[in-house]
Amino acid sequence: VRVGRGALDLLVDDLAARPPGRLLAVVSDSRVGPIHAEPLFRRLRRRGLPALLLTFPAGERHKTRATKSRLEDELLAVGAGRDTAIVAVGGGVTGDLAGFLAATWHRGIPVVQVPTSLLAMVDAALGGKTAVNLPGGKNLVGAFHQPWGLYADPAVLGTLPAREWLGGLSEVVKTAAIADERLFEWLEAFASALRGREPAAVDRAVTACLRIKASIVRLDPLEQGRRAILNFGHTVAHALETVTRYRIPHGRAVALGMAVEVRLAMESTGFPAEHALRLHQLLETLQGPLRWPAGADAAEVARTARRDKKTREGRARYALPVRLGKMAPGSDVTVTLSDSRLMRAIRSLSSGQVPASRV
C-alpha cells in the first residue's frame, strides 16, 4: 500500500520495475477515464509498457454482469491472456467491477487498485472485496481478490464532485465510529477542514482510515468474523440504495444507514445516547441535514434488508458498535433484529427526532 501525494509516480515506477503482467489493462469509467486514467495510460506507454485503456459508463447502475461481460469481450478481442494485469483507476464502482473482472479472467490475474474517490481511497480499494450488483441487490455476485498493490494519491481527489466528496466522508466517520474514538474526536475538531478538503486534514484522514482498515482486514481477510464490523450502517444503506434504485449516492446512504443503525445500537448494545447524538451531529456537520428520502418506504427497506447477504435465519443482521470507537469483542459482531425494530428506527429518523430525545 502506497499512500500520499506522489503515490502515482511510485505506481509508474513500480509497474516499470516489476510489471505484474505483460499487458496492463487500465480499466476506468467514463468520467474518471479522461481526467486520471488516460494520463496514467499515456505515462505507462511512454515508459514502454504495453498498456490498453478500457472504459465503461460511470455510475453504480453500470456495476453489472453486463458491463463485466462487455469488458471481457474487449479483453478477448485484443488477445489478452493470463499474463495480463488489470489497473483499476476510479471510485468504488470501478474498483469492485475491475477487481471482479481480474478475479475471474483466466481464473484470476493481478489487479492494481488506484482509487480516485474518497470512498474508494479510505475503504473500497483495500481488502480484496470485489463484486457486481444484481437487480435484486448490491454486490450479490463477487469474489475475494486481494490487490497486487494499492496506490492512493490524495491529489486526485481535487477533481471529485462535491456530492461524492461529502459521501466519502461518511466512510471516514464510520471507520472512526467502529474503531477509534480519538480519530472520531479529531474529526469533530477538523470537520470544516475536511469539508473544505484542506490537504493536511485530508492526508491525515486517508492515512488513518487505511491503517485501521488494514488492521481489521489482515486479521479476517475472508470476513468470517470480525471484519463484519466494517458493515456498520451498511445493512440499511444497501437496502436503501436498492429501494431507491441507486438514486442516492452510496456515501449518503451510509450516513443515513448509520443514523438509523445507531438507534438500533442504543436499544440492543447499550450504545450511549450522548455518543449517538455526537455521531448524528458530526454526520450533519459534514453532510447537512439527515433527511430520510421521501420515497423510501420503511417496510420495503426492512424487507430488502432481509435479502442482504448478511441475513441469518430470515432476519436482517447488523454490525453495531457498543460505544464510539468500540465494537463488541470477539468474532461474532453482528446482531439479528426484527423488521419492526428497524421500521421503528427509520420512523424515528424520518420524523426528525435526534437520538438523545429517545432516552
Ligand X SMILES: NC(=O)c1ccc[n+]([C@@H]2O[C@H](COP(=O)([O-])OP(=O)(O)OC[C@H]3O[C@@H](n4cnc5c(N)ncnc54)[C@H](O)[C@@H]3O)[C@@H](O)[C@H]2O)c1
Q: Are 249 and 256 in contact (CB under 8 A)?
A: no
Written as one string, the DSSP assignment of 132-195 is EEETTEEEEEEEE---SEEEE-GGGGGGS-HHHHHHHHHHHHHHHHHH-HHHHHHHHHTHHHHH
129 in active site = yes
Q: Which three cell numbers stand for residue 213?
A: 482498515
Residue from 62, 63, 145, 227 carrying the catalytic annotation? 227
Q: In this complex, which beta carbon is closest to ligand X, that of residue 238 or of residue 278?
A: 238
Task: Examine residue 180 and tell whether it contacts ligand X (CB under 6 A).
Answer: no
Residue window 235-254: x/- pattern of binding to ligand X, with contact defined by CB under 6 A: ---------------xx---
Spatial distance between the Cα atoms of 228 and 222, rounded to a whole number of angstroms: 10
Spatial distance between the Cα atoms of 241 and 138, rounded to a whole number of angstroms: 8
Total of residues contacting ligand X (CB under 6 A)? 34
Q: Which three cell numbers stand for residue 280?
A: 448524528
**Residue from 339, 349, 238 nearest 292 by CA:** 349
223 in active site = yes
Task: Examine residue 233 and tell whether it contacts ligand X (CB under 6 A).
Answer: no
Task: Name which position in 19, 21, 91, 154 contacts ligand X (CB under 6 A).
Answer: 91
Residue from 68, 226, 238, 275 carrying the catalytic annotation? 238
Q: In this complex, which beta carbon is closest to ligand X, that of residue 309 or of residue 323?
A: 309
Residue from 60, 223, 241, 261 carrying the catalytic annotation? 223
107 in active site = yes
Q: In this complex, which beta carbon is closest to ligand X, that of residue 251 or of residue 325?
A: 251
CA angle 141/167/66 to nearest 5° reads 30
Q: In this complex, which beta carbon is closest to ligand X, that of residue 117 or of residue 235?
A: 117
CA angle 149/195/212 to nearest 5° reads 35
Task: Name which position in 55, 84, 116, 304 contacts ligand X (CB under 6 A).
Answer: 116
**Residue from 95, 72, 329 nearest 226 by CA:** 329
Q: Which three cell numbers stand for residue 205?
A: 484522514
Q: Are 274 and 282 in contact (CB under 8 A)?
A: no
For helices 199-219 and 181-189, the axis angle rounded to 10 degrees is 160
234 in active site = yes
Task: Examine residue 121 and tell whether it contacts ligand X (CB under 6 A).
Answer: no
CA angle 61/95/192 to nearest 5° reads 90
Task: Name which position in 32, 88, 109, 302 contacts ligand X (CB under 6 A).
Answer: 32
Name which of residues 134 to 173 contact ligand X (CB under 6 A): 138-139, 156-157, 159-161, 164, 167
Binding span for ligand X by CB under 6 A among 28-36, 186-194, 267-275, 337-345: 28-36
Least distance (Å) from ligand X to the CB of residue 133? Answer: 7
Task: Name which position in 124, 152, 253, 305 contacts ligand X (CB under 6 A).
Answer: 124
Active site residues: 107, 129, 171, 213, 223, 227, 231, 234, 238, 250
Residues that bind ligand X (CB under 6 A): 29, 31-32, 35-36, 58-60, 63, 90-94, 96, 116-117, 119-120, 123-124, 127, 129, 138-139, 156-157, 159-161, 164, 167, 250-251
